[in-house]
Amino acid sequence: MNAALLIGSTAVLGSLLALWWAVTGARPARAGVDLRDVRRPPALDLRAATLQRDLGERTLEPLVARLALLARRYTPRGRVTRLEQRLLVAGTPDGWTLERVLAVKALFALAGAALALLRLIAAPSAAGVLLALGIGAFGFFAPDLLLRIKTDNRQQVIRRALADTVDQLTIGVQAGLGLDAAIARLAATTEGPLAAEFARVSQDVRAGMRRGDALLALSDRVQLPELRQLVVALAQAEKLGVPVAQTMNVQAAELRVKRRQHAEEQAMKLPVKMLFPMMFCIMPCLFIVILGPAAISIVQNLSRV
């Protein structure tokens, strides 16, 4: 292998690992503010303040910001909006800010272009250039794939917990609590992504937002059809004066039916998903075990003749 290609590939991969460590690594806890320092502000020393920051904040964070700005400049606005929506639906995972995701996508795209250029200079080959561009394209779309996986897992957890959560809200309402108080109690006594979303609903209501608008914002953040149906049913019940507990009992029963239907649908998809692993992994091994001795005996008999 050419030495220039090896050195360039090592440098690119090293920069990728360093950036990934800086982006996803844990940040040290910052010290609290001393009121005495606020009353008597010391002389401002920008150099000392800069040196007090760790190496990642001084070097890699500006690089991440510039890469994010570059990616935002050349990415269509609609795609950036969809990426923000995906982050919101995924629950805004720790370390997954929009700037970091855009920076990682831009870095992988530049790394793929650099590898393709080095390959073209060192050893011109169409296959090598296409392979380098393919690696860059895979790195560019890898964050989208990971976000989709996180979104699907989170929605699956919410779908499984939704019927039981509605039952808990119904019990609270039937016990004499208002719907807002039942949502606040549910958020304080349970855990999980759905409880966190209801905690945000409670915070929005206490901040002055209408309950219907807060629930609609909840359905927009989760983007689950079952939850949107529940929100619409609660809004209609509040508008028409139907008892909320009765509406939630009906919705809980329908949610259980849909949960069972979703499980049956996933079970019916398993044979199709298992078809290709069986064809390419299990069936060749089975043919070798079954037909191998017969083929060996046939070859031996033919060789004797």
Residue among 194, 193, 259, 206 at smallest CA distance from 231 = 194
- pTM, entire model: 0.67
Q: What is the spatial distance between Cα 115 and Cα 107, in angstroms, rounded to a whole number? A: 12
Ranges 95-104, 184-193, 228-237, 268-277: which has the least confidence: 95-104
Report which listed range, 115-119, 186-190, 275-279, is most confident. Answer: 186-190
Average pLDDT on 294-301 reads 83
Top pLDDT among 71 and 185 is at 185
Give residue 269's pLDDT: 86
Q: What is the spatial distance between Cα 49 and Cα 143, in angstroms, rounded to a whole number? A: 34
Domain 156-260 in CATH 1.20.81? yes
Give residue 31's pLDDT: 43
Q: For the chain, give me the number of helices (H) and strands (E)?
A: 14, 0
Give the amino acid at 21: W
Could you give the 3-state DSSP secondary structure of residue 258? helix
Give residue 27's pLDDT: 46
Instruction: Return the number of other C-beta atoms located less than 10 Å from residue 59's C-beta.
Output: 12
Which DSSP category does 276 fall into?
H
Residue among 138, 136, 140, 132 at smallest CA distance from 102 = 140
Q: What is the spatial distance between Cα 181 and Cα 187, in angstroms, rounded to a whole number? A: 10
Taking only the tens place, the pLDDT of each residue in 36-54 is: 544 544 544 555 555 566 6
Top pLDDT among 56 and 147 is at 147
Ranges 192-201, 250-259, 286-295: which has the least confidence: 286-295
Give residue 146's pLDDT: 85
Q: What is the spatial distance between Cα 154 and Cα 159, in angstroms, rounded to a whole number? A: 9
Taking only the tens place, the pLDDT of each residue in 50-98 is: 556 665 566 667 777 777 777 777 777 787 788 888 888 887 777 777 7
Sequence spans of domains, the chain: 3-23+54-154, 156-260
